[in-house]
Each structure stands twice: as structure tokens, then as C-alpha cells.
Structure 1
């Protein structure tokens, strides 16, 4: 009789591992949802509300991400799992940049490496990891991509 509980416990454990749809941040209105796949992210994106600073730029193409804060370029292979952006080792060009841009690049690299949650609505994309949140607007197609 004590062997009866083993399958019950295993079944309960497996049902707890079932995937659930990624959550949309509570502060986003209806219509924001996780991207369905990397193809839906393809193209160029520019940071919204960068203020006086150089806006961050992202470009998704063929399973790779290119990013810039205005000086060096960052790049990595990427995947999308349950609404989280997963990057490989982040590589960077090594130009000497003003300290303020170097700090922005570090911040962008850290956010992208932190497996941020992605949500989209139309041509808007939001990345969020912890308290860090950035919003981007899809750039108009330049014809080549």
C-alpha cells in the first residue's frame, strides 16, 4: 500500500512543472503580451523617452541581437523562452568612449544579460528585469531587412 503514494507524488510534481503562459507586468494595460517567437522581434528598435541621452538601439536578426548605447556595439546569440530573452556571452567592440556612454553600455549589457521579460503591443517592445525597464519603438523598415 505504501507504493501507491509514489505515482501520486510523481504526478503531483509533474503537474507543478507544467508551463504557464508568461505574465504581463501588472502596470501594462490590456493588449500587451509576450512575443510569440524571435521572428516577431525581427528588425530595428529605438528606445522611447531617452531624454537628452543617446537612445539605446536594438536589432534582432537570424537568432542574434545587436545593441548600442551610442559608442560600442554589443552582440549575442539570443533565444526567447516563456517570454524571457536569453542571451549568450555578450560581446562588445572596444572603442574608447566617454565615461557616461561607457556606463550606459554597461547598464544595457547588464539588462540584456539578466534575462529580461519581454512584452509587446503593436510596434512597442518593453524589456524588464527587476526594477530596470526600457521601452522601445520599432523603427520603420529601411527596405533591406
Structure 2
């Protein structure tokens, strides 16, 4: 029961420290979309691959330490639907010039009005999606 509260709190602290440290030490925003784009198509500066590897490794470590189910209820969704959802998320992050980590964690902490608008739209879209999936007959 304690990990129900402690794990998310520790995760949030680590995310805040990491994103703040990246900005303070390297002048870079910890937006996952931008980091992944730079790692894949450039201009890569070397640290992006290490950042992505750290994300993957920390997820693996959390799964080992905490146990439990990390599928978030997606195990029954067909692969083509998941692929389409991933493509739509990618399109949305490109259209929005950033993702939830870039706008939500880094942009809001810098008091960016553009990020405030983006996060508001993310939250409204997420709420509508959940409502439609649960009550819209999908």
C-alpha cells in the first residue's frame, strides 16, 4: 500500500531533478519527442541516446523492483489499433511542437504560455477520450 504513494512521488522527484539538471547543466529541454528526434535524425550530440537508454533502463528497473502489471490495460487491444494510436500521438506531438514531458514538465516550470495552452488541450483531449471510450459505445 505504501508503494502506491511512494513510488509515484519518488518518480516525480526524479523526473523534476533530471529535467531541471538537463536544463541547468546543458541548456536542453527534457522533451522526449525532441530528444528522440535528435537521436534518430540528428543533429545528435551523443547524450540523446544515453537519455533514451536511461528511460528504458529505469522502466525495467521499476518493473523488477515493484513487480506488478505495467500494461496499463492495453493487453487486449489489437496491435493495428495500438500502431495507429502511436502514429496519431506522434503526429500530435509534431503538430504541437512538443509532447507532454516537454510542455508539461519543462514548459510549465518555465511559465510558458504556449505550454500552458498545450497542456490544457492535452488534458481536455485525454478526458474526452476516456469519456468516449467508457460511455460512447466504443
Alignment TM-score, normalising by the size of structure 1: 0.23
Larger % of helix: which?
2
Rg comparison, structure with higher value = 1
